[in-house]
Amino acid sequence: MCRRVVDVCNEIMQRESPVLFVDTCSILDIINSVHMNSLSENYAISALELIRLHGNDVWLTTSQNVKEEWEDNIDAVISTMEREVLKVDRNVSSMLLVSNALLNASYSTPQRISSLNIVTHMRSLSENFLNTCLSLERKDEHTIRAMQRVRKNEAPARKGKPEPKDCEIVESFLELAQRLRNSGFSHRIIFFTANKDDFGTNRELKQPLGTQFSELNAELINSIDHVLAVARGQA
């Protein structure tokens, strides 16, 4: 269920902890992380820990757009993981078969990954993370401001890549951050995304995001390990 920004803000103010706003790719990457070398091998474990810390040491938040995009993309992400699991099983079987023949050995084949039902479990973890987040409803004002970004080619939009949905996601985040700061919230407010092409990095955000985040004392983080360290009070 998506909630009004003001209601989410009021809940956070009752138990102040760092706020983490998560975009679509970061939630889908829980699944991708088990077969993509570019992602932390601890990604899914970190996601589990963040779920456990939610409401006490960190607030997980997201937006209506993210929930809709997750539903639109989850089947394709799962299909990719299924193919990768079958590829692993095939490669392990092939390597052992050849090794046994060349070495005159009889090494046994380990349990097939596909028999562990890991794909279903990973989908459930990603969905559980999404449903744990306090989800902000999309407002007409978010859409209007997002379209202004698109027309001006302002990040996360750029020439030839309008990204209207990402612009709406950003506007939801900025309103939440603004309301929290206006309410006297002093903890860290973080936008978590792996999308460096459209958003930039924590050291160099794309403009005008850099200025807008700075004005709200908000941060962008690209690494789930960094995010978890913040939630644990280690960064």
Asked if residue 67 belongs to a domain, the reply is yes
Q: Phi and psi of 219, rounded to 5°?
A: -125, 155
Q: Give the CATH number, domain containing residue 172.
A: 3.40.50
DSSP 106: -
Residues 151-166 have pLDDT tens digits of: 999 999 998 889 899 9
Residues 14-58 have pLDDT tens digits of: 999 999 999 999 999 999 999 999 999 999 999 999 999 999 999
Asked if residue 226 belongs to a domain, the reply is yes
Domain residue limits at 131: 2-74+117-231
Is this prediction's pTM over 0.85? yes
Asked if residue 84 belongs to a domain, the reply is no
Asked if residue 213 belongs to a domain, the reply is yes
Query: Which pairs with CB-CB distance under 8 Å and at least 24 residues apart come from 139-143?
Result: 139/5, 139/172, 139/175, 141/171, 141/175, 142/168, 142/171, 142/172, 142/175, 143/168, 143/171
Asked if residue 64 belongs to a domain, the reply is yes
Number of structural domains found in the chain: 1
Asked if residue 45 belongs to a domain, the reply is yes
> Band of the pLDDT at 1, cuts 50, 70, 90?
confident
